[in-house]
């Protein structure tokens, strides 16, 4: 459980992310998705419950210790150092690399060749897609066992997002677990093998991703209640889905 004051942000969430897994968490704004990733990364404290890594309870570990153990968070908003060159952004992020700094930076460039070409450019001059590559590259400097990826599609063209997720899929194929947080169910399902729907701080649905799935159950879980089809008053040809507040929790 995670609380902000008296408000409960996360309650009773349990999920498993094996090595090399592609897992996605979807849900509306305010569902607690980002808070869940921050709790795993150690940025917000738990009120109760545990975070286990390799069978070890790391619930009381500081952020830097979790990074050293292989837990890397890529927060939403592409948080890079705008005044620093790309190469220096990676150097700052590689505080755990020590003498292997240059080698790990080359690994990031192999992962994202566009960053190699722009390595002497200040991050402020990067495109949105390049800045997201750099944010992920910073996380990869720690040689993580799991990457916590928060809303990578925000503000990016669909083709750029697909390129990024293809790269993340290659990382998963190489044994790095990826826990993706997204608002877009379609995008999450195009990437993930396992999908969790988070609503109002609780897991409402957990399923394996495959071609056949219960779209009605997915919509209901996403909105936290029973859904009814209604006509949009502005356009009688459109049908919109709205949650029944009488039955939502």
Distances (CA, A) of 157 to 84, 128, 193: 25, 9, 23
Assigned token pair, 162? 């697909």
Residue spans of the domains in the chain: they are 2-213
Q: How far is 247 from 245, CA to CA, in rounded Å? A: 5
d(CA 201, CA 44) in angstroms, rounded, equals: 15
Distance CA 25, CA 13 (A): 11
- From residue 22, alpha-carbon distances to 72, 133, 147, 213 in Å are 15, 18, 10, 18
Interval 45-51 mean pLDDT: 94
Q: How confident is the model at residue 224 (pLDDT cuts 50, 70, 90)?
A: low
Least confident piece of the model among 102-111, 144-153, 226-235: 226-235
Q: How confident is the model at residue 249 (pLDDT cuts 50, 70, 90)?
A: very low
Rounded mean pLDDT of 23-43? Answer: 94
Give residue 40's pLDDT: 97
Average pLDDT, the chain: 85
The predicted-structure confidence for 53-96, as pLDDT tens digits, reads as follows 999 999 999 999 999 999 999 999 888 999 999 999 999 888 77
Q: CATH: 3.40.718.10, 3.40.1390.20, 3.40.50.300, 3.40.190.10. Which one for 2-213?
A: 3.40.50.300
Tell me the pTM: 0.84
Q: Which residues pair with 196 in a beta bridge?
A: 25, 206
């Amino acid at each position: 459980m995670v609380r902000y004051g008296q408000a409960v942000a996360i309650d009773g969430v349990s999920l498993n992310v094996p090595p090399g897994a592609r897992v996605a968490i979807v849900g509306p704004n305010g569902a607690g998705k980002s808070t869940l990733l921050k709790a795993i990364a150690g940025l917000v404290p738990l009120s109760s419950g545990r975070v286990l890594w390799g069978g070890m309870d790391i619930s009381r570990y500081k952020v830097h210790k979790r990074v050293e153990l292989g837990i890397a968070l890529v927060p939403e908003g592409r948080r890079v150092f705008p005044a620093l060159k790309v190469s220096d952004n990676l150097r700052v992020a590689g505080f755990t690399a020590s003498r292997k700094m240059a080698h790990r930076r080359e690994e990031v460039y192999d992962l994202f060749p566009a960053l190699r070409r722009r390595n002497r450019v200040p991050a402020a001059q990067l495109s949105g897609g390049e800045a997201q590559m750099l944010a992920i590259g910073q996380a990869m400097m720690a040689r993580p066992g799991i990457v916590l990826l928060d809303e990578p599609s925000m503000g990016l063209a669909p083709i750029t997002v697909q390129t990024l997720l293809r790269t993340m899929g290659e990382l998963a194929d190489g044994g790095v677990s990826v826990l993706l947080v997204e608002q877009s169910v379609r995008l999450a399902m195009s990437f993930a093998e396992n999908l969790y729907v988070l609503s109002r701080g609780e897991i409402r649905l957990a399923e394996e991703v495959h071609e056949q799935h219960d779209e009605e159950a997915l919509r209901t879980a996403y909105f936290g209640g029973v859904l009814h089809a209604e006509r949009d008053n502005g356009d009688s040809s459109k049908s919109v889905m709205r949650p029944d507040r009488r039955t939502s929790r």
